[in-house]
Structure 1
Amino acid sequence: MKAMRSFINQSVEIAVSGKKDVLRGTLIDIGNDILVLHMDTQFIYVPLLHLQQLSPTKKVDEIVNAAEINWEPTPDLSYRKVLMNAKGMFTELFITGNQSIHGYITSIMNDFFVFHSPVFHSVLVSMRHLKCLIPYELNATPYAMSPSAFPLNPKPIALARNIDQQLKKFEGQFAVLNLGESSGKIGLLKTADSPIIEIVTASGESAFMHIDHVKTVHFP
């Protein structure tokens, strides 16, 4: 970690799990389990779990004067603290592939959090699968909607401490896993006997999946 911290305030490029394109910007902070990259006008938080490679960039057009970036070093920067600070703030998340979702973090549990989205409504997000978190400016709202059009008051959910316990609560409900990236991830959540869950797909057949591969869950 000490060697990587030597790149703080330098222009770098970062390869992140699941993202086709590398991220290029100024590395401005590193915690024990998360780093912060400044790219254009955005602050991008990347959990170190998904850092595949970090290296300096020599491209002149990528170099940014670190003194021009409005950032104060964060004592004890951590993934969980970033999530806590982002609660109620309009945020973009990258979780699966290059698809992003926009909305608000509303609850944070042991190994997952709840994300309220105008498109997907309440989404359970596994912490281990979040690739990038990008907060918007304080006054920004999803799709420039008025607060009355998308109020931050999602339907209450009885939350468990861990995602395996949460999925157990939702047995018998129609669910969409991993933002519906394939037909086998959409259907009736028949059983959630950790570590294996069973989904009954549109054809009526069962598909089985290890819970470690559940990135998101939402209920249309």
Structure 2
Amino acid sequence: MNNISTLIGEIVDVKTSGEAIFRGTLIEVGQDIIVLFDDENFIYIPLLHVHRINLSDNIDETISDPNEASLKKIEAISYRKTLLNAKGIFTEIYVTGGNSLHGYITEVLSDYLVFYSPIYKTIFISLNHLKWLTPYKQNTTPYTLSNKELPVNPPSIPLLHSFEEQLKKSEGKLVVLDTQVTSMKVGVLKKVNNGFIELTIVNGENIYLNLDHIKSLHLP
């Protein structure tokens, strides 16, 4: 347990990667994750993406105590345990760009997870690049879709142990990287080698992207 735990029960401001700032009551601190409650939702933030935590300077602000946790209680909370606990629960997550993703975690592998979204369907997301997640309240679904429209058990797909191996499996296919339909993030994945991805973009040019900075993979 780190010294951040001294702030448990206090209203804090948390600045994260992507310049996002969250304000809420610090509910729990794990070895690699913190939990906030912002009066409506629980927000789970990996410490990897926490830039700053400080007491809120709004001394008149109050936040009610949560009635119940959005995920079942974990004795020793951690990032991985949180993800496993969230499997099958409708969840909002943020990875990159201007919009969060809505759907649910279906699998958690060694260094990536599989997320099923009504918009993108199956997305492979690097664990190093998930900035935060917020489980929906019970009996809530994204866009009020039914289980038929957003199935809890989507068709199973072969999964490999690591994110890099899953990328290699997509060689020769049209891919969208980082859920960003831009000229430099959409193309045919030609090769994954020596930490770089070779991508043929729409004009036929080959570009090379550093694998460490690839946040997600989607096959349209």
TM-score range for the pair, normalised by the shorter chain length: over 0.9
Kindly state the Cα deviation for residue 180 of structure 1 after the two structures are TM-superposed: 1.3
TM-score by length of 2: 0.93
TM-score by length of 1: 0.93
Kindly state the Cα deviation for residue 210 of structure 1 after the two structures are TM-superposed: 1.1
Contact preservation (8 Å) 1:94, 1:133: yes
Q: Secondary structure at the match of 2:212?
A: helix
Kindly state the Cα deviation for residue 140 of structure 1 after the two structures are TM-superposed: 1.1
Q: 1:141 to 1:101 in 2, by over 3 A?
A: same
2:14 match: 14
Q: How many residues align?
A: 218
Q: C-alpha separation between the residues in 2 aligned to 1:21 and 1:101?
A: 16
1:189 match: 189
Kindly state the Cα deviation for residue 155 of structure 1 after the two structures are TM-superposed: 2.8
The reply on whether 1:64 has 2:82 as its aligned counterpart is: no
Q: 1:203 to 1:34 in 2, by over 3 A?
A: same
Q: 1:115 to 1:13 in 2, by over 3 A?
A: same
The letter of the residue matching 1:110 is S
Q: 1:204 to 1:62 in 2, by over 3 A?
A: farther
The letter of the residue matching 2:46 is P
The reply on whether 1:148 has 2:148 as its aligned counterpart is: yes
The letter of the residue matching 2:52 is Q
The letter of the residue matching 2:12 is V
Kindly state the Cα deviation for residue 61 of structure 1 after the two structures are TM-superposed: 5.1
Q: C-alpha separation between the residues in 2 aligned to 1:118 and 1:14?
A: 30
Which is helix-richer, 1 or 2?
1
The letter of the residue matching 2:39 is D
Q: C-alpha separation between the residues in 2 aligned to 1:44 and 1:177?
A: 25
Q: 1:218 to 1:56 in 2, by over 3 A?
A: same
Kindly state the Cα deviation for residue 206 of structure 1 after the two structures are TM-superposed: 0.8
Kindly state the Cα deviation for residue 65 of structure 1 after the two structures are TM-superposed: 4.6
Contact preservation (8 Å) 1:29, 1:74: no
Contact preservation (8 Å) 2:39, 2:64: no
Tell me how large the CA RMSD over aligned residues is: 1.6
Q: C-alpha separation between the residues in 2 aligned to 1:129 and 1:83?
A: 13
Q: Secondary structure at the match of 1:106?
A: strand
The letter of the residue matching 1:209 is L
**Worse overlay, 151-160 or 203-212:** 151-160
Any unmatched runs of 5+ in structure 1?
A: none
Kindly state the Cα deviation for residue 73 of structure 1 after the two structures are TM-superposed: 6.5
Kindly state the Cα deviation for residue 154 of structure 1 after the two structures are TM-superposed: 2.2
1:46 match: 45
Matches within 5 A, 1:167-178: 167-178=167-178
Kindly state the Cα deviation for residue 146 of structure 1 after the two structures are TM-superposed: 1.4
**Worse overlay, 109-118 or 96-105:** 96-105
Q: Structure 1, residues 98-140: CA drift from partner, whole Å, max 9, x if none?
A: 3200001111100001000000010000000000010001211
Matches within 5 A, 1:1-220: 2-18=2-18, 20-60=19-59, 62-66=61-65, 69-71=67-69, 74-180=74-180, 182-220=182-220
Q: C-alpha separation between the residues in 2 aligned to 1:151 and 1:70?
A: 26
Kindly state the Cα deviation for residue 60 of structure 1 after the two structures are TM-superposed: 3.8
Q: Structure 1, residues 13-37: CA drift from partner, whole Å, max 9, x if none?
A: 000001x331001000010010001
Q: Secondary structure at the match of 2:83?
A: helix
The letter of the residue matching 2:44 is Y
Q: 1:65 to 1:104 in 2, by over 3 A?
A: closer
Any unmatched runs of 5+ in structure 2?
A: none
Q: C-alpha separation between the residues in 2 aligned to 1:167 and 1:124?
A: 9
Q: Secondary structure at the match of 2:15?
A: strand
Kindly state the Cα deviation for residue 181 of structure 1 after the two structures are TM-superposed: 5.5
